[in-house]
Amino acid sequence: MAMRPVSDQLLDQIDDYVENLFVPPDAALEQNLRDADAAGLPAIAISPGQGRFVYLLAKIAGAKRILEIGTLGGYSTTFLARALPEDGKVVTLELSPEHAAVARKNLDRAGIGGRVEIRLGSASHTLDKMIAAGEASFDFVFIDADKPGYVGYLNQVLQLSHPGTVIVGDNLIRHGDVLAEVAPDEQAVGVKAFNALIASHPRLESILLPILKDKIDGMSISRVK
């Protein structure tokens, strides 16, 4: 059988097929996106399929403490919080007070606001404070923030992890930009360095998976040894 050529239309069809099968309509999440758009937040939230994916990974990991770097409007945060047991907690880091305000409203409306603590400020500075304070380790970490900061975030996150911690990174293929010998922008430079680090880090077992959306992107999954 001849293979169908890969086109943007086919990528959209595959993404729709997966989400229609595995991600049922969700009023709270749909309103989340509408509120984020109305507030002028950038349209860079993960897709519903990716949300379901990180939700299941956190569930499989048995996570009770989750760290998220990059809250935006709380869309991915909602998936992560729903994966927790009743006594679980998400600590999510957000630079923008405006974004955090939208996220707080969305999380409370979804009924999981009590499981989520939003910490404002530079993620790198917040992580340094958490490390210095000897904060308890996390079972699951989701990194989805400024790409030039990914390597630094990973090095900090490893100080807040334990053997078995699962670390997931987003936006790591960038429609092939990472394939260029000289990366075309600082975003691709950042994720190329992150990909190389998780592939070779002695404390990690990792894989990078392509994600089919309107463009081809990728998510990494790492387990701390």
- The per-residue pLDDT for 216 is 84
Q: Is residue 2 part of a domain?
A: no
Q: Which residue has the tokens 């308890």?
A: 136
The residue ranges of the chain whose pLDDT is under 70 are: 1-5
Tokens of 175: 């429609």
Question: SS3 of 207, please?
Answer: strand
Q: Could you tell me the sign of the dihedral formed by the alpha carbons of 179, 185, 191, 195, in that order? A: positive
Does the residue 165 lie in any domain? yes
Query: What total number of domains does the chain contain?
Result: 1
pLDDT of residue 22: 96
Which pLDDT score is estimated for 4?
63
Residue 7, pLDDT score: 78
Which of 56, 86, 80 has the alpha carbon at shortest distance from 67? Answer: 80
pLDDT at 200: 98
pLDDT at residue 1 in the model: 46
Residue 32: give the domain boundaries.
8-224
Q: How far apart are CA 139 and CA 91, in angstroms?
A: 12
Compute the distance between CA of residue 210 and CA of residue 33 in angstroms, rounded to an integer.
24
Tell me how far apart the alpha carbons of residues 50 and 221 are, in angstroms, rounded to a whole number. Answer: 13
pLDDT in tens, 140-179: 999 999 999 999 999 999 999 999 999 999 999 998 899 8
Q: What is the DSSP string of 4-70?
A: PPP-HHHHHHHHHHHHHHH----HHHHHHHHHHHHTT--S-PPPHHHHHHHHHHHHHTT-SEEEEE-
pTM: 0.95
CATH number, domain containing residue 173: 3.40.50.150
Asked whether residue 1 is assigned to any structural domain, the reply reads no
Provide the total of helices (H) and of strands (E) in the chain, helices listed first: 8, 7
Determine the pLDDT at residue 87.
96
